[in-house]
Structures are given as C-alpha cells and as structure tokens.
Amino acid sequence: MSSKPKPRAAREQLRIVIVGHVDHGKSTLVGRLFHDTGSLPEGKYEAIKAMCERRGMPFEWAFLMDSFQSERDQGITIDTSQIWFKTQKRDYVIIDAPGHREFIKNMITGASSAEAAMLLIDAGHGIQQQSRLHGFLLNLLGIRQVAVVVNKMDLVDYSAHRFAEIRQQYTHYLGGLGVTPDYFIPISARDGDNMVERSTRMDWYQGPTVVEALDSFHPTTRPTDQPLRLPIQDVYKFDDRRIVVGRIESGRLSVGDRLMFSPSNKTARVSSIESWSTPTKPLEAQAGQSVGVMLDEQLFLERGEIASHETDAPIETNVFRGRLFWLGHEALKVGDSYELKLMTRSAPVTVQKIERVFDAEDLSEKAAVDVPRHGVADVILRSRGLLALDEGRDMARSGRFALSDGHNIVAGGVVSMEGYPDQREL
C-alpha cells in the first residue's frame, strides 16, 4: 500500500435521531458512542473523569453530553446545531429529539429530517407510553430505517428471555403502526456491550452491534434531489423590477428556468439569481440557500406562494387531511378555527371533520368526537382560499404544518392525502 496521504474526499453523512423515554440512557448511549468510535476531542474523556474524581462523584457518560451542551450554550463549539461522530464508514449527525414541544417544532421546521432512528428502551422498565409515541412520530415523519436498542441489559442479568419479551411486545406494537424495525439490539450503554465491541456477556445474541447496524443504513433522498420548492418570504420592488426572496427548501433552481407560483398559478422565467452566500451572481442555487430571484415578467406575487417547476408543482387544494399531534390545552373539535402555518404561508383553517383519533395510551384507533391534549388524530382541514402543499411523507418541509391559536403552536402535523380528497367534498 502506498503511504502517500490520500486526497480528502468528502465523507458521507447520515442524519440520525435518537429517541427514548427520559432516563432510559440516551445521553449515556451517545457519550459511549463518541468515546468508543474515537470521535471525542482529545483529552475530553480524561478531563471529565478527572473532574468527577475531584468532586468525588461517580463518572457518568452523560456528562460528556452535558459538556458539549454547555460549550454550545457558550458558543465554544463551532457548529451550534448539530453534533456528530465518525465510524470508518461515514460521519453521523445526531439530531436532538428532546421534549414533545421541541420535537414537534423540529419536525415542522424540517430540522428533524432524520434518515434513520434509534429507539431506546430500558430493559428493566420496558415499553413506556413515550416509547409508543416515539414510534408513532417516526412513522409519521416517514423515517423507515429503525434500530430498537434495548439498554441496561446488565440490570436484567443479560437475560435473553427478557430481551425476547421486549422484542416481541414492541414488534407487535410497532407493526400496528406500520413500522418494521430493522434490528433489535441488546446493549449496556454504560459498559459498552454491543455498542462498538461485541459483548462477551450476551453470546446468545448473533445480530449486529449498534455501530454495525447504523453503518448498514442507507442515505435517503436528499432535499437537493427533490422537486423545487421555494416559498416566497418577501417581494421587493425597486425601479420597475421585482425581486422574489426566499429560502430554497428542496430542489434546484437555474437561470432560465420557468417557474410556477402556487396557488396563483402565475408563471415567469428566472432572469437572474442573487445569493448572499456567493460573491458573484450564481447561475444556479439549491436547497438550503436563501436567494433573491429576478423574473422576466412583472407578476404580482405575495408572501406564502410556492415557486416550483411547472412539471413538478405542489398540490393545490382548499381541503386536506392532516395527521396531527395535538398540544392544545382544550380538546380539538369540529368547527374550531386555527391559523395554519405551512412554510411561509399563513391562512385561517377550520376543522371540518375528525376522521379518527388514536388512543394516547396504546395508540389504537378509538371512537371520539374530539382530540384530547397530546392526542393524535387524522383531521380534515378546510381553508377559504387555495393552499399549495405536498404529501408529508415525501416532502419534509412543504408537507408539514403547524396550527396556531394566535399565540401558541397548538399542533404539528403532516399532510396525508392518501385516498383524499374525495372530490365531492371539494
């Protein structure tokens, strides 16, 4: 083999989300993953160990995460939104999934567009209500690559029987939600069993370690490879020209492209692109960039419209189904009105129908006339004017929405048009 250093190719990245009930060992798992894959900054582990000894406290892997958090709070870490670790195969970006409200907020803003998930369960406590809810939310977000990690196996004497019991229960439950986990892995995050190194204490287990499981997942479609969605944030006028400004949420855009604006259905060609992230005027731009677009015709356009290519335009409708997670204090009822927020669009909507409500405990379908706090339901929403939107499973941004009561976000939801709209209801 040559000893010449190879040119540095861009490493593949995979975005993962780690969810689990509080205290089931999320931070421990992440701390251990960083350490065992050799991804920690040099001296970090030793520094935290020494700090624990000085203070006479037992070492906790979670302290590593706490220290990252405090560095982030102080702005020491360069990347303030994401943390990542490396395996031989690629880099992993961990997307935080803390409390309900944050999770919903991330989900709506697209920050939770994870490509794979690890669901963490405490072997002693087993499945909790939150574990069920997390499974449900992953399904809602269309995250199909899932590894269930059964943690704290040391507390159940590394029992194959206990592991099989949890696997059976959770497989059954997730199956009901349309989620088929790729793996169930028994681990002890604290001791590192089956994380990077294969455990010698669970030789009854033949499956992959956590890192092997993660490395077997595939990158999913990147936003840049999806249809163009450029929601208008603002329209500026100067001279007799107009410049349309927004962030490209998915797809690509080139000078010369014919754009269609939905729901007004006006079209025009891109005559130039202004970008704040490049020194010269670019000929093209892609998802993630904020741009100003100069058009070859003077159209009257408003904030909230979505620019796309004519051949791949969003759905236009004034009635749609949303599968939503309800956070309001009062129950959601037919006839209630809220402010819909979908990308840059705001529009009043009314609840026309509650199709089904899922039980908060086991998420089975139940008969109900309203949706209680923290309930999940399929509802039909109607607006006066036309809305432009997408199927939420496919499009992380233009297919997800929030409802506001004028002060607070009261729901997060995903557009689900399957079998809908029924033309008679339009």
| C-alpha to C-alpha distance for 230 and 290, rounded to whole angstroms | 9
| Binding piece for ligand GDP, criterion CB under 6 A, among 84-92, 148-156, 262-270, 304-312 | 148-156
DSSP state of 312: G
| Binding piece for ligand GDP, criterion CB under 6 A, among 19-27, 74-82, 223-231, 389-397 | 19-27
By the rule CB under 6 A, 23 interacts with ligand GDP: yes
Measure the N-to-C terminal CA separation of the chain; round to a whole number of Å. Answer: 67
**Burial environment of residue 140 by CB neighbours within 10 A (0 to 12, 13 to 18, 19 or more):** buried
Which residues make Cβ contacts (< 8 Å) with residue 53, sequence separation at least 6? none
Residue 42 CB, nearest approach to ligand GDP (Å): 23
Binding residues with ligand GDP: total (CB under 6 A): 17
Give the nearer residue to ligand GDP in terms of CB position, either 66 or 234. Answer: 66
| Cβ atoms 260, 309 nearer than 8 A | yes
| Binding piece for ligand GDP, criterion CB under 6 A, among 43-51, 106-114, 182-190, 369-377 | 182-190
| Cβ atoms 263, 387 nearer than 8 A | yes
Site string for ligand GDP, 24-53 (x = CB under 6 A): xxxxx-------------------------
Find the binder of ligand GDP among 112, 151, 262, 289 (CB under 6 A): 151
Give the nearer residue to ligand GDP in terms of CB position, either 25 or 322. Answer: 25
Which residue from 110, 119, 93, 96 is spatially nearest to 15, judged by alpha carbons? 93
Find the binder of ligand GDP among 15, 132, 134, 190 (CB under 6 A): 190
Task: Tell me if the bond preceding 279 is cis, omega within 30° of 0.
Answer: no
Residue 39 CB, nearest approach to ligand GDP (Å): 17
Give the nearer residue to ligand GDP in terms of CB position, either 26 or 382. Answer: 26
In angstroms and rounded to an integer, the radius of gyration of the C-alpha atoms of the chain is 24
| C-alpha to C-alpha distance for 390 and 414, rounded to whole angstroms | 9
DSSP state of 200: S
Tell me the sheet residues that pair with 258. 269
| Binding piece for ligand GDP, criterion CB under 6 A, among 15-23, 40-48, 79-87, 174-182 | 15-23
Q: Which residues bind ligand GDP (CB under 6 A)?
A: 20, 22-28, 60, 62, 151-152, 154-155, 188-190
